[in-house]
Amino acid sequence: MENKEGLIFTFKEEPGSIAAALVAYIKETQGSSGDETTQKGLIDEIIRIAGIDLKQWKVKEFKLYPNAWGVTMKQKEWRGKKRTTKTWAEQAMNYQLKVEIKFERIQYDIETTMLDSFKEIVKDMPAIEIPEIITKKIRNGVAAELATYDAHFGKLAWLQETTYRHYDVNIAAKDYTRSIDNNLDLISPHKPEQIFYIIGQDMYHIDNLAGHTTSGSHTLDVDGRITKVHIKTFTVSRDSIIKARKIGPVKVVWIPGNHDFLASYMLVFALMQYFRNWKGITFDLSEASRKAVLWGNLLVGWTHRIVGRYNTWSNELAQAFPELWGKSKFREWHHGDQHKKHNVKIVPLFTSGGVVCRQITALSPVDKWHFENLFTDAVPGGESFLWSKDVGVFANFMVWTGQYENK
């Protein structure tokens, strides 16, 4: 209300309250709507007092409804605590202010909001000095093993019979090359001092002109004459060994398979003659079906078939290579034949440690015989390993070839 002495208020407003803000606004504007700047100041103050989060809400619109009306007030004179008979009338003004604010929720792009949040978090973080990184060589004497097993050059598989994939001598050559090339790409950054190139392991599907395996127990589906298969297999093997030699010294180790003892032996013999004057390419063409090498603390044995129980093969590794066994801390068997990939840890027969038996996956896909006998869970591909003289096998790479076109 207003009398002749100015604005007076008949209620008690709490400091810092919305009511106090409205009273202050009325005092400033003398009961009018005020200008745009004054109105915005009032809205901002109301939002602040109400605790509205302007990161979540924005003002859509606001309206002020001021009102004023006059009243006549009868005044009486007082002397001390006694009222006199003197009275008079005074005109007073009443003021009313109604404020209406409408809000709407702000729609944020989630990525932008998260980015802004992180910026808010890190803006006051002190800069830190990046400590010097000291690298320590933890692997001493790296070697690599190329293990593309069970290629079965000469195998013939027809997609319509197997539902899996075509396979012939040309597809075998492409898959073998893909496996070797990709595995060489994976091992080359480690600069191996020696590459063990494992060959044999049923490189061929058949062993004679009749289309039989070494034992002669099966007549198989074959893609062409064995001479045709020989030429393709020799060419692919020769080129792959040359590629490996560009990365490091190569030792070609022949492991006879159950399909191709004679064919793969003659293949490796021909390769040995081809590379006889090359430096850094050596061969192990000994006829033993089980071979091994010691690389620092690591003993690796190779064979094609695991006969009998797995847990007897730790004993076999020790019996066949007792001197190498005694010098090693880490021991492994790498074998093929089963056309599938899995690792089996053998419980050791000796307190000196265990043997890891790794069944290497086969390169060749399912043919009719495998399909009819439900041997269909293999995933074709080739593998490679990295060895260290200190810690043994520290990496195993697998290149799957079954995803390539069915042609």
> Cα–Cα distance between 11 and 94 in angstroms, integer?
12
Does 370 lie in the same domain as 321?
A: yes
Does 326 lie in the same domain as 179?
A: yes
Examine residue 197 and state whether it is found in any structural domain, yes or no.
Answer: yes
Examine residue 131 and state whether it is found in any structural domain, yes or no.
Answer: no
Does 152 lie in the same domain as 117?
A: no
- Least Cα distance to 327 among 335, 336, 318 occurs for 318
Does 96 lie in the same domain as 23?
A: yes
Q: What pLDDT is recorded for position 331?
A: 92
Does 189 lie in the same domain as 113?
A: no
Does 178 lie in the same domain as 76?
A: no
Q: What pLDDT is recorded for position 72?
A: 78
Burial class of residue 166 (count of CB atoms within 10 Å of its CB; 0-12, 13-18, 19+): middle
> Cα–Cα distance between 40 and 31 in angstroms, integer?
16
Tell me the sheet residues that pair with 254.
199
Examine residue 266 and state whether it is found in any structural domain, yes or no.
Answer: yes
Examine residue 290 and state whether it is found in any structural domain, yes or no.
Answer: yes
**Host domain of residue 188:** 142-400
Burial class of residue 197 (count of CB atoms within 10 Å of its CB; 0-12, 13-18, 19+): buried
Q: What pLDDT is recorded for position 90?
A: 74
Does 210 lie in the same domain as 87?
A: no
Q: What pLDDT is recorded for position 405?
A: 58
Does 287 lie in the same domain as 365?
A: yes
pTM of the model: 0.63
Per this entry, what is the length of the chain? 407
Q: Give the DSSP letter string of 194-254.
A: EEEEEEESS-BS-SSTTSB-TT---B--BSS-HHHHHHHHHHHHHHHHHHHHTTS-EEEEE
The number of distinct structural domains making up the chain is: 2
> Cα–Cα distance between 26 and 41 in angstroms, integer?
13
Scored b (16 or more CB within 10 A) or e, 119-158 reads eeeeeeeeeeeeeeeeeeeeeeebbbbbbbbbbbbbbbbe
List the CATH number of the domain containing 260: 3.60.21
Last residue of a domain, one of 57, 88, 122: 122
Examine residue 337 and state whether it is found in any structural domain, yes or no.
Answer: yes
> Cα–Cα distance between 285 and 265 in angstroms, integer?
8
Examine residue 301 and state whether it is found in any structural domain, yes or no.
Answer: yes
Examine residue 364 and state whether it is found in any structural domain, yes or no.
Answer: yes
Q: Give the DSSP letter string of 107-144.
A: P--HHHHHHHHHHHHHTTPPP-PPPPP-------SEEE
Q: Provide the strand spans (E) within 22-169.
A: 57-79, 82-105, 142-147
Examine residue 263 and state whether it is found in any structural domain, yes or no.
Answer: yes
Residues 6+ apart with CB under 8 A from 11: 19
Per-position pLDDT tens, the chain of length 407: 343 343 333 444 566 777 777 777 777 777 677 788 888 888 888 888 878 888 788 888 888 777 777 777 777 676 666 666 677 777 777 777 788 888 888 776 666 667 777 777 777 777 777 677 665 555 679 999 999 998 888 887 777 776 677 888 898 899 999 999 999 999 999 999 999 999 988 888 776 665 666 666 666 666 677 788 889 989 999 999 999 999 999 999 999 877 788 888 889 999 999 999 999 999 999 989 899 999 999 999 998 766 555 556 667 888 889 999 999 999 998 887 665 444 443 333 333 347 888 888 888 777 777 676 666 566 788 999 999 999 999 999 999 887 665 54
Tokens of 12: 């008690």
Three-state DSSP at 78 gives strand
